[in-house]
Structures are given as structure tokens and as C-alpha cells.
A and B are shown apart, each in its own frame.
Chain A
Amino acid sequence: MNPTDRKGSIRLQLALATTAWLITASLLIGAGYLWFADRPQQEVDRELRSELQELQDHYQDLGPGALAEEVARRVEEHPPGHSVYLYAESQRTVIEGTLPHWPEGLEGGDEAATIPVEAATPHYRFERQLRMVALTLDDRRQLAVGRDISEHLRFQSTLQLAAVGALGLVILGGLAVGLGVSRSLLGRVVSMRDTIGDILAGRRGARVGVGPGGDEFDQLADQFNHLLDANEQLLLRMREVTDDVAHDLRTPLSRMRGRIEAALAGQEPPEEHAETLHALLEETDDMLDTFSALLHIAQIESRSVQEHMETLDLDDQARDAADLYQPVAEEAGLDLQTELEGGLRVRGNRHLISQALTNLLDNAVKYSHAPGEIRVTTRRAGERAELCVSDQGPGIPETEREHVLQRFVRLDSSRGTAGTGLGLSFVAAVATLHDANLRLEDNEPGLRITMEFPLA
């Protein structure tokens, strides 16, 4: 099932929300428009009423004759397209006024009314819209004042048309933008989902496309790809380990099996049984060592020992390990020197750092030729503390330095010596756990290995 097709899909929700907001906004704008558009007409009505009042006052003060004169004067003064005046005997006979007839529908009273009137000029006839107020005078005659609001009404209707059109466009546009935005945003989420699907389906190389913009989605995609890379690395490493374990444990197991089989088949004289058993015991112990070293490295790499971190004195660690190896080095004709900075406190697991140090010293003693010097050094380097073991042995060629940190890697030159081939992998794992940089350098001659810890 395609999740975006569901009723609860984000795309639909987003589009609905956008539409709801647009409609609300449109209604608010419309109400505002109507309220404002009505105001000019009220203004006109007020003017008309006051002019009518003026004329009524004129009538009451000076009599009907004067009113007729005044009306005639105002008719003269204002063109019919602007103002209209009517003074009529009844609703049929106009005494004086702009129009020849009393318009149909115009009643006396306080109410203003919009009246359509056929206006004729010598050249053409057309319909005008008049806003009029009328009243009945004391002598039953009728008086009316009006304004031509045709232009205003035409303008208003144009405005209404424009507003409705604009609203329609806004709603349609909003919908389109909403759909477009949600489609483009969700497209990227969907692309991530599809990538996960691909990976789950076994295409482990699949990655999410990262746009050039560097926006939040790009950052998410980038992080996501990093996660996938790390995951892939882990998988690769796990496969390597499995292969290595298969190789490095299967070989001695086959050897042991062959030996046991030969002993059982009576191919060796019984007096050699004890010797065979001793050899088997040794082989078993070696395998157990390899096995626990592998397990230990795996535990460190999974960071399950993080909780045992304490603040410790790096110099003490170096001194203890050097103390332990001093006699062995001397026996081998090597001069083991310590050069300690003092006061270097780092955050770490004491047991792991000690074991990494003894691994390094073990290698240094194993691969050095007498006479030679092994140095254990601690040094402050800015915000970091360096712990360094150097020897004057054959060293490691630059091209091999990365390689020797992997599990079971032993250079051909060291095939004959004892060891699990896990010593440096262990050191590398301990360094990673402590956020320490691990450097393998040329000691000219020999190898210099430096672990660079953050200071506590």
C-alpha cells in the first residue's frame, strides 16, 4: 500500500489546511470590502437629506413661489449627470425640476432609494441610476433631491468583479502552492522511504539524494546517508571478523582435529600421547586467547565499557607498564626509557589503557633487535595528552600502517613470531573508545605509536 494515498496522508492534510485558511481569509477580506464599499452611499444619503431640509426651510420661510425659483436655480446650476431636483404638484405633474416626470417608485419619506431613470439627451437615451430622497410639503406638493450615482455603481460593480476574480485566483493559487509545496517536501520524505525500502530489499548501496541547497531536508538526507555509511561499515567489519574468525580459528581446529584423529587411529606410539596432549592444550590456550581478545575488542567497539571511565593519571599508567616490561626489555638487550611529562590527567578506563600499553610494549620488545632503545613518553600537546611508545625495530612501511590496525593482520616479516595478530586492533579499539587519535609514524629507525587523548 502506498502511504501517501491514505486518508491520513500528510499531503492531503496540508492541502486541506491551506484551503481552509484561504477560505477564512477570503471571507474576512470580503466582509471588510462590503463594509467599506457601503460607506460612500451613506455619505450621499446624508447630503441629500440635508439639501432637502435646506429646500424645505426655504419653502417654509419664503413660500411656494420662492421654492420654485430656488429649484429652478439649482437645476440650472447642476448638470443632470450630477444632481437632480424635482418640485411637483403631485406625483404626476412636475412644477419645476431636472426630470420631466416624477420617477416611478419614488415615495416621500425619510428613506433614500436608488431609482433607475431613462434619461434622454438629444442624441441618445440611456439608463441612469439615481439616489433620491423625497418629501411631501404642507401643501401636498412633492419635493425630491437626487444624485446620479451611475458612475459610482459602475465602479463598484467593476470592483466587485475584480475582488471575486482575485479571490478565486488566490484560492486556486493557494491550493496549487499548497499541493506543490507538500508534493516537493513529501517527495523527499518519500525518496528516503524508498531508499530504506531498497536497503531492506538488499540493495545496501542505495543512498538518498542530497540537494545542493543545504536546507533541513538536505541535512537530514546527509545525516541519514552518514548513518547508512556507518551501518555499512559495521556490516563490512562484521563480515571481515566472521571471515577472520573462520580462518584463524578453523586452521588450528583442523590441525588439532587431525592430530587427535591420528592419535586415535594408533598412528603414534602410546608413549607420545602425553606430548600430543600437551601440544593440544597449548593450541587450545592459543585459541582461547584469540577468542577472548576478539570478544574483548568487540565489546570495546560496541562501547559497552563506557561506564567505567574515570579520571586517571596517564603518567602512572605509563610508569606501571614500563616497570612491568623493564626486565624483559633488558633481557632482550634493549634499553627501556621513560620520559614523563607529569600531571597529565585524562578520562579513561584504566584497565583498557594499561592493556593497550602492554600490547604496544610487547610488540616493541618482540620486533626490536639488540642493541636498541624503547621509549615510553607522555607529553602535553595543547589541549591533548600524548602517550607514545617508540622502538628502533624494523618499523612498518607507510603503506601498511592503516592495514596493521585491522584484525589478524600480521606482516609477512612477523609470521614466525608468537601472537594473536590482534594487539594493534585492540589498541585501535581502545583509542577510538577514548576519542584518542592513534598515529603510527616512522621513528627513524623504527616505529612510533602515539595515542593522543583529550585532557580531562
Chain B
Amino acid sequence: MKFLLVEDDPVASDYLAKALRESGHVVDAVDDGALGLSRALHETHDALIVDRMLPSLDGLSLIESLRKQGRTTPVLIVSALGEVDERVRGLRAGGDDYLVKPYAFSELLARLEVLVRRDQGAPAETCLRVADLELDLLKRTIQRAGEPIELKPREFQILEYLMRHAGQVVTRTMLLESVWDYHFDPQTNVIDVHISRLRQKIDRGFDPPLLRTIRGAGYALREPD
């Protein structure tokens, strides 16, 4: 994938560009807001990574201008401003996701992939399917290999999120945000226990296991290659 990185801190920018390239992506890096806007308008990218505080044009204005020109390229805002109202401001300006500095690279990568995939547009489905696991959104039922599985409401929500992003890495923070609307990380890894319970129900006694733990990043629901 091809990303445009607009970040004025040269060390942070170099590090991030290098890490993204090592993950197999193409990165255009600029350190100035106006320049970033012009490149975003004249070139095609899969997603933009935009810092908020930038020289010549701040990140939010950049995104607003981009949206006014009718561009729908997904934008991930990265900022040291972490309060909930700052996040809301970022999303109102037209950002698609908001990541607070400092962040783990795996978190940023997971979110970028989700953004790009979302942009490619999944059709409105009523039934989600991964291998022989089926989730019926209307009846709110789950089957694996034709066998019904009973899930608690929260487990259902977690599984739904994982299935909507099947094949992608989903981080603990993403699950907390989407299922609980919590924009903070509790001190204990509470999500891990939810996942292990969910795994007991959907993977135990079935083959192959679908719910994987991605070390240092999160989880992914995917068919083995």
C-alpha cells in the first residue's frame, strides 16, 4: 500500500517511514502541512498519516481542505493531544481514525490496514463468514460447521468486529473502542480474557483454529493459509 506521511518531527518521521517500508509499504514523507495537502491532492495514496501540529498548515486544516476538494482518501490522525474532545475534533475535521502519541507501531499498522480495507468498501452483509464460521447479523446467531454456538452479547460484539475485519490484525485498543467505546486502556489486559473465552467457544473442538494471537499486536480471525 502507498501512504502519505505528514509529520514534522524528522526522527519520528524517519522511524515510521522505515518501519512502514519494512512492512512492505510505499511511503511518501513530507514535513510541512501545505506541501502535504498539495501532494495529497495531486497524487494517489491508499491512506494519509497526518500529525496535528505542522508548519504552514495544521493537520486538521489540511484534512478539511482535502475533504472540501472531494477527496475521500482515508486519514489517520496521529497526535500528542489525547483528550476525548481532541479526538472528536479530529474526527469532525474529516479524519477517519485518531491515534494518540506515543503509540506502538503495530497499533498504527493495524489501524491503517483497517482504514484502507474499509475504504475499499465491504457490501452491506447480513451474514459474515470466515471458513466454516458463520455469524448471522439479523438473527444474531453463530454457527461453526453447522453447529450453533451460544455467545454472550459482548462476545457476539467482539466476534462481529473480528469477522468484519477478518484477516486483519485487530488490537486490544481497537476492541475496547469499538465494543465498549472506551478510549483508554485499563491497567489489566482484560481483553485477553474475553478473547480466550471466545476462543474456547468458537475454536475448541473444531479444526482449524481461526482466532489467532498476533504477538505484540493483537488478534486476527483468519483461515490458515
* A, B from the same assembly: yes
A308: chain B residues within 8 A (beta carbon): 84-85
Instruction: Name the CB-closest residue of B to A363.
Output: B187
B39 within 8 A of A: no
Mask for B55-81, Cβ within 8 A of A = 1, else 0? Answer: 000000000000000000000000000
Instruction: Name the CB-closest residue of A to B196.
Output: A327
The smallest C-beta distance from A15 to any residue of chain B, in angstroms, reads 55
Binds A, one of B13-21, B110-118, B176-184, B203-211: B176-184
B180→A324 contact, CB < 8 A: yes
The smallest C-beta distance from A421 to any residue of chain B, in angstroms, reads 11
B193→A418 contact, CB < 8 A: no
A327→B194 contact, CB < 8 A: yes
A305→B83 contact, CB < 8 A: yes
User: A305 is contacted by which of B85, B186, B193, B196 (Cβ under 8 Å)?
Assistant: B85
A325→B85 contact, CB < 8 A: no
B188 within 8 A of A: yes
Mask for A293-305, Cβ within 8 A of B = 1, else 0? Answer: 0000001000001
A327: chain B residues within 8 A (beta carbon): 190, 193-194, 196-197
Mask for B164-186, Cβ within 8 A of A = 1, else 0? Answer: 00000000000000001011101
Within A404-424, the residues touching B (CB, 8 Å) are 418-420, 423
User: A351 is contacted by which of B184, B187, B188, B193 (Cβ under 8 Å)?
Assistant: B184
B194: chain A residues within 8 A (beta carbon): 324, 327
A354 within 8 A of B: yes
B187→A328 contact, CB < 8 A: no
Distance between Cα atoms of A362 and B48 in the complex (Å): 37
B193→A320 contact, CB < 8 A: no
B188→A362 contact, CB < 8 A: yes
A423: chain B residues within 8 A (beta carbon): 187
Given contacts A354-B182, A358-B182, contact A324 B190 (CB under 8 A): yes
- Number of contact residues on B: which range applies? 10 to 19
B154: chain A residues within 8 A (beta carbon): 323-324
- Number of interchain pairs (Cβ within 8 Å): 54
A299→B180 contact, CB < 8 A: no
Instruction: Name the CB-closest residue of B to A308.
Output: B85
Distance between Cα atoms of A418 and B188 in the complex (Å): 9
The smallest C-beta distance from B64 to any residue of chain A, in angstroms, reads 22
Within A299-350, the residues touching B (CB, 8 Å) are 299, 305, 307-308, 320, 323-325, 327-328, 331, 349
Within B103-147, the residues touching A (CB, 8 Å) are none
B193: chain A residues within 8 A (beta carbon): 327-328, 331
B24 within 8 A of A: no
Distance between Cα atoms of A320 and B176 in the complex (Å): 11
Residue with the greatest number of chain B CB neighbours at <10 A, chosen from A289, A328, A366: A328
Interface residues of B (CB under 8 A from A): 82-85, 102, 154, 180, 182-184, 186-188, 190, 193-194, 196-197
A-B contact pairs, 8 of them (CB 8 A): A288-B102, A299-B83, A305-B83, A307-B85, A308-B85, A324-B186, A358-B184, A366-B188
**List of 3 A-B pairs having minimum Cβ-Cβ separation, nearest first:** A327-B193, A358-B186, A328-B193
